[in-house]
Amino acid sequence: MKQEIIDRINQLARQGDDFLFVINYLGTEAYIQKLSEVNPDECLYDLEGISNVHPLRYQPRKLEKWQVFPPSFDEYKKSFEHVKNNILAGNSYLTNLTCQVKVECNLSLRDIFLQAKGKYKLLLQDTKAHHESFVCFSPETFIKIRDGRIYSYPMKGTIDAAIPNAKQVLMEDKKEAAEHATIVDLIRNDLSRVATEVRVDRYRYLDILQTNKGDILQTSSEISGKLPDDYKMYIGEILDAQLPAGSITGAPKDKTLKIISEAETYQRGFYTGIMGLYQGGELNSAVMIRFLEDNENGRFFKAGGGITSKSDCRKEYEEVIQKIYLPFT
């Protein structure tokens, strides 16, 4: 993460200010504002119920058009094979491969934000400093800090809830289990860079995500550690030590980042970065997945999944398409 971003976060935390932070995947760009100074015409947020959205006189609009134009299987396969070959060569154990998918929808990004159901929601409009407009409705907590402990909640493993015995199929899938175990180990290592007494509090628990295409089951774990007494002086460094998030990169992280840059055919931008709030010495943040962006070339949904030595290209391709949804019921 750029030093100026770390310094800005530290400055606000040391002053005791409450603030919102949005940091891109590479840690090179950020939107950081005191909560009292966030302009709702520029940014709307709702992070586990903490929001700058006022009680609405908003009339929900009907979703009349939702069309997805996925990349061809052959196009995806080229990126997949580059990743898989690196894994088989021992350069990575797990790599999160993503792509951007063109979509068409009759709703504006603001409409989607206001109507979407999500644990963490953010709308950031194009400004002079930030030339991307996007909405994010993420189910994945990144890290939380409370009572002197840091918590992380990596999310890995999904399945269509309509599949017969979906829970059993997901929990017994060896590829999904191996992928989850790898990420938990990586996050334990990341937390150990800033905390002691790191432990896994919950392992592979299930969440249900509601979408406009039906429910999805997803597995997560909870990992925590004890921060030093003066942690409030170094919030910027604590975040920097965890980035980019392990769940959207892979392991080992440094080598895997290089593989991702070679395999992916677009720039992630703010997708798979983080968003969060710092309030009263406590922090709550999310990984920016489930991400829809407007740019000069149209509207794109960005999605991906973890690749391991056991991954099947066709199955991974179909999983990416499954993740392209709006969280409406």
CA distance 90 to 249: 16
304 three-class SS: strand
Residue 128 pLDDT class (50, 70, 90 cuts): low
Q: Residue 230 has what pLDDT?
A: 96
pLDDT tens digit sequence for 203-212:
999 888 777 7
pLDDT surpassing 90 at residue 48? yes
Of 170, 278, 157, nearest to 221 (Cα)?
A: 157
Q: Residue 174 has what pLDDT?
A: 86
Parse the chain into domains and list their residue ranges.
Answer: 3-55+79-322
CA distance 300 to 291: 8
Q: Residue 103 has what pLDDT?
A: 98
What is the arithmetic mean of pLDDT over 128-152? 88
CA distance 37 to 220: 34
pLDDT surpassing 90 at residue 136? yes
What percentage of the chain has pLDDT greater than the value 70?
97
pLDDT surpassing 90 at residue 55? no
CA distance 154 to 196: 19
Report the mean per-residue pLDDT for the chain.
93
Of 19, 62, 61, nearest to 43 (Cα)?
A: 19
pTM score: 0.91
- Interior CA angle at 66 toward 63 and 72, to 5°? 170
Cβ neighbours of 102 (radius 10 Å): 14
Window from 125-129, 144-148, 304-308 with minimum mean pLDDT: 125-129
Strand partners, 169: none
What is the arithmetic mean of pLDDT over 141-159? 91
pLDDT tens digit sequence for 218-228:
888 999 999 99
Q: Residue 56 has what pLDDT?
A: 66
Q: Residue 329 has what pLDDT?
A: 63
CA distance 304 to 317: 9
Q: Residue 167 has what pLDDT?
A: 87
98 three-class SS: strand
CA distance 30 to 9: 10
Tokens of 71: 């990349």
- What string of DSSP letters covers 118-133? -SEEEEE---SS---E
Q: 271, 288 in Cβ contact below 8 A?
A: yes
pLDDT surpassing 70 at residue 129? no
Tokens of 164: 């017969």
CA distance 205 to 297: 39
Tokens of 82: 């580059």
Q: Residue 184 has what pLDDT?
A: 92
- What string of DSSP letters covers 172-220? H-HHHHHHHHHHHHHHHHHHHTT-EEEEEEEEEEEEEE--TT--EEEEE
What is the arithmetic mean of pLDDT over 93-122? 95
Phi/psi for 30 (5° steps) reads -155, 150
Provide the 8-state DSSP code for 85. Answer: H
What is the arithmetic mean of pLDDT over 190-214? 89
Residue 179 pLDDT class (50, 70, 90 cuts): confident
Which residue is associated with the tokens 């191996």?
178
Phi/psi for 85 (5° steps) reads -65, -40
What is the arithmetic mean of pLDDT over 274-298? 95
CATH topology for 3-55+79-322 is Anthranilate synthase (3.60.120)
Which residue is associated with the tokens 């399945």?
159
